[in-house]
Amino acid sequence: MNVKADTRNYSDIDCDALVIGVFEGERPEKGAETGILSDIDSRLGGVLSSLFETGEFNGKPGESAYVHHAGNLKAKRVLFAGLGKQADFNIDGLRRMAGSATRLLRGKKVRRFAIVRRSQLPLPEAAQAVVEAALLSLFDADKYYTSDKTESRLEEMILAARDTESGDQGAQAELNKAIERGRIVAEATNFARDIINEPSNLMTPTDLARIAAEGARSFGLGIDVLDADKMKELGMGALLGVAQGSEEPPKLIVLTYNPSTASDETVAIVGKGITFDTGGISIKPSEGMEKMKYDMAGGATVIAAMRAIAQLRPAVKVIGVVPATENMPGGGAQRPGDVVTSMAGKTIEVINTDAEGRLVLADALTYAKKLGATRIVDLATLTGAVSVALGDIYVAIMGNDQPWIDDVITAGKAAGEKIWQLPLDREYREQIKSEIADIQNIGGRKAGTITAAYFLREFVDETPWAHLDIAGTAWNESAKPYLAVGPTGVCVRTLVNLVDSVAGKSLK
């Protein structure tokens, strides 16, 4: 779907449907000369007033009324969309409205529609949010349906933003930039959702590496894919230990974005890429195991964020690192109780082979440091416990550097992605002490999300690092206003904002 801005009066915009947001309790003022609601009400011969009178539509969030009319408007139809109470309205409310309106209009077989600006929210941010929500709302996980696929005729969305003062070139350019940015990050997020949604027989570590390489070629990123021999040479015993139970060869994918003008920082984004997690010898129950295809969501997020970064060109070096392997219980699989030596030299007692994410990340974090990372953020579907703590609403964050953690949380806020910090005090280290090795890979029943993060902390030393546990938020069990059931692509947008903030740009 194409997106463009149009600064003409809404009544002159020629399209299949106009979307007009209405705040709860807002009414067309009788006899008022200005004001869009009274204007549209009179153009539609009082339809809006009658919707209010009958109680059919009140402007509550999520409410809508679709009107076919013969009034004096260029648009063929009008969709009134509830915005909720004006005092509570914010960018997230705007996202929800734009997302649900877009999906609704797709269902009505609309080709071109315009969203009319109603709020006073700052224009570039509001425009970006609308574009993101609209494009994200159109994702459906129906690739493998051979019939009954969701049909979309949507060709164009128009942002009817009359208050850009058409004469103001600067404002116009800024608006177009915001639209473009919204499109880039939404497309990257949907790309992540596509690869997360792939079944594991069609998304092996080799497939993931191929997709990363294709993206690197199209968007001008550096790429290096390490195979098992190279991992052996580097001493990546923790990653190889997980991979040894699988017939599929592991890959360590490294993407590099290296702009000509850059700050001194190198940001590493590291994502867990377990293309299927059976649990290994500590095998998982079969019920729900099919979901473990999304255990590479962190890795997909990194690959997707790198392609957005390549297009947006922030002035900072970024490396994306994805340790990719299956976790299978093959004849050669590692056993509970095995001891492996990580690339950092630390020995690890593998008490539970299902706590594999932290093992592959341990070597990936060490490798990111070897590549010169000065700040690290990792993302992983690491623990079931994070869903117990935060449900599917908040991503958990922990780290070793408060300002860096705050930067990530702020980047998330600007993206409409909620991130909540959990503690990571030294006392938690006790739970991962091993009797025979430097560390063990599980910490018992208590504070599972925290002990997993503490394990990772042992491999980053002093480098500012933040860890995001996305196990609760990477997959939607039920639809949200602009995110269908299935993979969410959570944190692609947060990462893009974060890298931007390091590059010294203001957050958009």
Q: Is 31 left (phi over 0), alpha (psi -120 to 50) or beta?
A: left
Catalytic annotation, pick one of 60, 210, 284, 480:
284
Among Zn ion, ligand BES, none, residue 486 binds (CB under 5-8 Å by kind): none
Rounded to a whole number of angstroms, the minimum distance from the CB of residue 492 to ligand BES is 18
Please give the residues from 447 up to 466 whose contact with ligand BES meets the rule CB under 6 A.
Answer: 448
First to last CA, the chain: 22
Please give the residues from 256 up to 295 whose contact with ligand BES meets the rule CB under 6 A.
Answer: 277, 295
Rounded to a whole number of angstroms, the minimum distance from the CB of residue 225 to ligand BES is 23
181 in active site: no
Rounded to a whole number of angstroms, the minimum distance from the CB of residue 277 to ligand BES is 5
Among Zn ion, ligand BES, none, residue 464 binds (CB under 5-8 Å by kind): none
Q: Which residues pair with 267 in a beta bridge?
A: 318, 375
Catalytic annotation, pick one of 118, 251, 358, 375:
358
Rounded to a whole number of angstroms, the minimum distance from the CB of residue 361 to ligand BES is 11
Rounded to a whole number of angstroms, the minimum distance from the CB of residue 379 to Zn ion is 13
Binding mask 404-443 for ligand BES (x = CB under 6 A): --------------------------------------x-
284 in active site: yes
> CA 328 → CA 161, 210, 275, distances in Å?
54, 21, 10
Sequence-ordered alpha helix ranges (H) in 271-356: 297-312
Nearer to ligand BES, 106 or 293 (CB): 293
How would DSSP label each residue in 6-71? Answer: E-S-GGG--SSEEEEEEETT--PPTT-SS-HHHHHHHHTTSHHHHHHHHTS----TT-EEEEE--S
Going by C-alpha positions, the residue among 84, 356, 324 that lies closest to residue 211 is: 324
Give the integer Cα–Cα distance in Å for 368 and 437.
24
355 binds ligand BES (CB under 6 A): yes
Q: Phi, psi (5° rounding) for residue 378?
A: -115, 155
Rounded to a whole number of angstroms, the minimum distance from the CB of residue 473 to Zn ion is 15
Nearer to ligand BES, 36 or 292 (CB): 292
For ligand BES, the binding residue among 385, 395, 414, 450 (CB under 6 A) is 385
Among Zn ion, ligand BES, none, residue 415 binds (CB under 5-8 Å by kind): none
Q: Which residues contact 507 (CB under 8 A, 6 or more apart)?
A: 410, 411, 414, 497, 500, 501
For ligand BES, the binding residue among 107, 345, 384, 423 (CB under 6 A) is 384
Contact 272, 299 (CB under 8 A): yes
Give the integer Cα–Cα distance in Å for 202 and 86.
47
Contact 261, 317 (CB under 8 A): no
Which residues contact Zn ion (rule: CB under 5 A)?
274, 277, 295, 354, 356-357
62 binds ligand BES (CB under 6 A): no
Residues that bind ligand BES (CB under 6 A): 277, 295, 352, 354-357, 381-385, 442, 448, 471
- Please give the positions annotated as active site: 284, 358
